């Protein structure tokens, strides 16, 4: 039997990773001209690494709920999704206007929008 701690950790990791990758996946599915580029592989691996780091940092603050494995996983998944959404939103609000990342947004390069 898998420990609830492992289930919670995997749930948080899955939530963080999904919130990071879903906009890019949605854009790839909507664009019929989409072709895989090796820079996407590097980006995906970086996203996985960041998701692991965020999960390691966030896991100690997560209160594991009482209940079955599915309940623990779903709560941890939602915790990870919400946490990453808050991080992304805070970054958007605090991003300086002179950032090198703003120039690609003006050209329509914002993924998911």
Q: What's residue 20's pLDDT?
A: 85
Tell whether 111 is covered by a domain.
no
Determine, yes or no, domain membership for 99. yes
Q: Do the domain assignments include residue 112?
A: no
Domain that holds residue 88: 4-106
Structure pTM?
A: 0.74
pLDDT tens string 59-98: 999 999 999 999 999 999 999 999 988 888 888 888 776 6
Q: Is pLDDT above 60 for 109?
A: no
Q: What is the pLDDT of residues 27-60, one digit of tens each?
A: 888 988 888 788 888 888 888 998 999 999 999 9
Q: Does some domain include residue 113?
A: no
| H helix runs in the chain, sequence order | 4-30, 38-58, 69-94, 102-106
Q: At what angle do helices 38-58 and 69-94 cross, to 10 degrees?
A: 110
DSSP 37: -
The answer as to whether 68 is a domain residue is yes
Domain count, the chain: 1
Q: Is residue 30 part of a domain?
A: yes
Using CA atoms, how far apart are residues 75 and 62, in angstroms rounded to an integer? 10
Gap between the Cα atoms of 95 and 101, Å rounded: 9
């Amino acid at each position: 039997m898998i420990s609830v701690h492992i289930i919670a950790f995997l749930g948080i990791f899955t939530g963080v990773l999904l919130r990071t990758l879903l906009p890019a996946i949605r854009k790839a599915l909507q664009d019929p001209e989409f072709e895989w580029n090796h820079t996407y592989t590097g980006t995906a691996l970086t996203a996985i690494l960041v998701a692991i780091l965020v999960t390691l940092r966030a896991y100690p603050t997560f209160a594991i709920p009482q209940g079955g494995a599915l309940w623990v996983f779903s709560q941890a998944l939602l915790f990870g999704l919400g946490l990453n959404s808050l991080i992304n939103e805070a970054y958007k609000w605090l991003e300086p206007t002179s950032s090198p990342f703003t120039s690609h947004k003006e050209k329509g390069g914002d993924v998911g929008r």
